Amino acid sequence: MRIVLMGTGPFAVPSFEALRQSELEIAAVICRPEVQALSAKKAPPPSPVRLWAQSHELSVHTPTSINDPMTIDWLRSLRADVYVVCDYGQILTSDALSTARLGGINLHGSLLPRHRGAAPVQWTILSGDSIAGVTVIHMTPGLDAGPILAATQTDLLAEENAQELENRLSQIGVEATLQALTTLRNWDPATPSPGVHQDRTLATKAPRLAKGDAELDPRFPCRLLDRQVRGLQPWPGCFANVECSNGSTLRLLIQRAKPIPLDVPLSNLPVGAVLVGASLQRLQTDAPTLSEVKLAVVVGDGLLALEQVQPAGKKSMAAAEFARGYAKQDGMRIAYVGTATKLLERMAQMEIIG
């Protein structure tokens, strides 16, 4: 079977490597071209798939548009049996897909039809799902809408962030990709796809995230904020602007956190108050884990314990190390604009849908 690989990001690399080690013939590797920001002085680094392909001396191509007529003519000249697409970044039209004898398959980082779109792994966490997984579809021009050829599910770990989950799913996706290709190998294109059609009524969207989604908004419940922290790692991350008692403002990147819901609200403390050291011990609450907390924020229904943070311009550090440096800073609070309000509201809606 003669295949063409289309991918850009790291999620694709484990499956592509497995295909390289198989008996399949790789005709070409296609990546999305790297885009240089207008303010950047240096060229952007090569994509993970490009680096992988070059390390194995595979032919790499970076067309600006995979659906350009000239690109489609070139694809046709490759005489591929099937396109294997993963973490590519462009949607193939029916004209592009028709240039391969069996069309294309796509490895997607969620259990379709849930979380169709550019950020399925992140939205699996943001939505509060207990189950994660991968799906390989027989591609159609619709966004992640093709028949399902293979799917594998796994439990989502309680403290797992998006980076960790993506790494794990990329490995799980290897076997699913091989299974899908085995299914297609003997398929007659004159017959209906061997895949199982998706139930469109169960489809949800996983839109691309934005920098504004990264702002911690303490008005929301701690369970949502915990998922925001985990779901936005490593990009765009989650940050808080902390107003200190000396009048300065500190940008704090929150890398690990733990929700602590409280049955009785902290009526004597405003939402957004940052508690360090002794101020935590003075709290009148029965929360069993509070004795281990070194740094926390008062949020909508309790506390968000911060476990790993990175102050602007400094290295990442455990909360205990940060707390030692700010133990005498009473009256710290989080200033928020509300740029992540829509994200957090949609996260709450996705809980209901799920």
How would you write the pLDDT of the chain (354 residues) with one tens digit per residue?
999 999 999 999 999 999 999 999 999 999 999 886 655 567 789 999 999 999 999 999 999 999 999 999 999 999 999 999 999 999 999 999 999 999 999 999 999 999 999 999 999 999 999 999 999 999 999 999 999 999 999 999 999 999 999 999 999 999 999 999 999 999 999 999 999 999 999 999 999 999 999 999 999 999 999 999 999 999 999 999 999 888 899 999 999 999 999 887 777 889 999 998 777 777 766 666 677 889 999 999 999 999 999 999 999 999 999 998 876 777 899 999 999 999 999 999 998 776
- Residues 6 or more apart whose CB falls under 8 angstroms from that of 199 comprise 113
Number of other residues whose CB lies within 10 A of the CB of residue 243? 17
Instruction: Tell me the β-bridge partners of 152.
Output: 134
Q: Could you tell me which of 99, 108, 106 has the C-alpha nearest to residue 81?
A: 99
Residue 189 DSSP code: T
Please give the structure tokens belonging to residue 299: 């949020």
Q: How close are the terminal C-alpha atoms of the chain, in Å?
A: 39
CB 89 within 8 A of CB 82: no
C-alpha 293/C-alpha 275 separation (Å) is 10
Beta 295-299 vs 302-311: how paired, if at all? antiparallel
Q: Is 234 helix (H, G, I), strand (E, B) or coil?
A: coil
Beta strands in the chain (DSSP E): 2-7, 25-30, 60-61, 82-86, 104-108, 131-138, 148-155, 239-243, 249-261, 274-276, 295-299, 302-311, 317-318, 333-335
- Report all structural domains of the chain as residue ranges with CATH numbers, in order of start: 2-202 (3.40.50.170), 211-353 (3.10.25.10)
Q: How far is CA 12 from CA 143, 153, 341, in A?
A: 18, 18, 32
174 phi, psi to nearest 5 deg: -60, -55
